[in-house]
Amino acid sequence: MTRIIIYCTAIIMALPAACRSEGEMSMEKLRDLMVKNQIEARGVSDKGVLDAMRKVERHKFVPGSHISSAYEDHPLPIGHGQTISQPYIVALMTELCELSGTEKVLEIGTGSGYQAAVLSLLAGEVYSIEIVEPLGKNARQKLADLGYNNVQVRIGDGYLGWPDEAPFDVIILTASPPKIPQTLVDQLAEGGILVAPEGDFSQELVKITKQNGRITRRTITYVRFVPMIRGS
């Protein structure tokens, strides 16, 4: 009788671990399909970006009620009127940053922390600002728990940037201001790149570069992001 009880207990204890293992494998397959069908198929080709999108577990950055949709081709709500961006847009914007592994990056709009996690695998340092305090605190803890140790999260007004750490090689916005704030352009390093949505109802994804003090601007595509919130 004792042996039977121990044997049954061992089986019961092993089941959750087995289920977790199968679940993680399933999520990995979904990430592979996401990269192949949603990202590579639309022209994103940078190997580093594709690898980062395969590695970062998007389902760990969405609310529990949306885990089953984590690898679908659309944004998802994360609370407080904010969203986690569509995977393709995250990959596209990351590719536009032209990261080589050593850059100092400023992100405006931490949100869930997903974009910061992707950036952290491709850059030297990531500084991220979130104006919605609960989101910023949750993202900071999530990134730390998952081992993204080169990301710093600050609660604050993204329109002000992070002057104490400027200049930045790359600045990326994950919410749309009516116009790109001059304060952020000023915090862009010589030779730097700024990638952002811009506009109110009609929005464009733009890429700005700074060379010899001269600003060059290129429109990439039309997009739809949540508005960039100003501090009070």
Active site residues: 85
Strand intervals (E) in the chain: 76-79, 82-84, 104-108, 125-130, 151-155, 168-173, 188-198, 203-211, 214-223
Q: What are phi and psi of 151, to 5 degrees?
A: -115, 130
Q: How far apart are CA 70 and CA 217, in angstroms?
A: 33
| Cis peptide bond N-terminal to 167, omega within 30 | yes
Q: How far apart are CA 52 and CA 62, in angstroms?
A: 17
